[in-house]
Amino acid sequence: MSALTNEGMKSDASEASILSDTAFLNDLRRQMVKFATLQLSNSHAAEDAVQEALIGALKNAKSFAGRAALKTWVFAILRNKIADFLRQKKRMVEASSLLREDEEGEDFSELFDKKGFWQSDEKPASWGNPQDSLHQNQFWKVFEICLEGLPGNQARVFMMKEFVELEANEICTAVGITTTNLNVMLHRSRLRLRECLENNWFLKGEHA
Partner 1 sequence: MMNCQQATKLISESQERALSLPEKMSLKLHAMMCSGCKNFSLQVPFLSKAMKAYARGQDEEVKD
Quote the least distance from Cβ 143 to partner 1, whole Å: 6
Which residues are within 8 A (CB) of 145 and not within 5 positions of it... i.e. 6 or more apart? 196, 200
Specify the stretch interacting with partner 1 by CB under 8 A; choose among 20-28, 39-47, 82-90, 187-195: 187-195
Long-range CB contacts for residues 158-161, cutoff 8 Å, separation at least 24: 158/185, 158/186, 158/189, 158/190, 158/193, 159/35, 159/38, 159/39, 160/39, 160/86, 161/186
- Of the residues 162, 178, 199, 203, which one makes contact with partner 1 according to CB under 8 A: 162
Length of the chain, in residues: 208
CA distance 142 to 200: 7
CA distance 194 to 143: 10
Which one, 88 or 137, has the nearer CB to partner 1?
A: 137
Is residue 24 involved in binding partner 1 (CB under 8 A)?
no
Which one, 46 or 184, has the nearer CB to partner 1?
A: 184
Contacts of partner 1 in 87-126 (CB under 8 A):
108, 111-112, 115-118, 122-126
Quote the least distance from Cβ 183 to partner 1, whole Å: 5
Is residue 143 involved in binding partner 1 (CB under 8 A)?
yes
Angle between helix 152-162 and 95-104 (nearest 10): 110
Quote the least distance from Cβ 116 to partner 1, whole Å: 3
> Residues in contact with partner 1, total (CB under 8 A)?
46
CA distance 34 to 28: 10
CA distance 180 to 99: 11
CA distance 195 to 111: 10
Is residue 2 involved in binding partner 1 (CB under 8 A)?
no
Quote the least distance from Cβ 123 to partner 1, whole Å: 4
Q: Kindly list the residues in this chain that would bind partner 1 in the complex (CB under 8 A).
A: 67-69, 71-72, 75-76, 79, 108, 111-112, 115-118, 122-127, 130-131, 133-137, 140, 143, 158-159, 161-163, 165, 168, 182-183, 186-187, 190-191, 193-194, 197
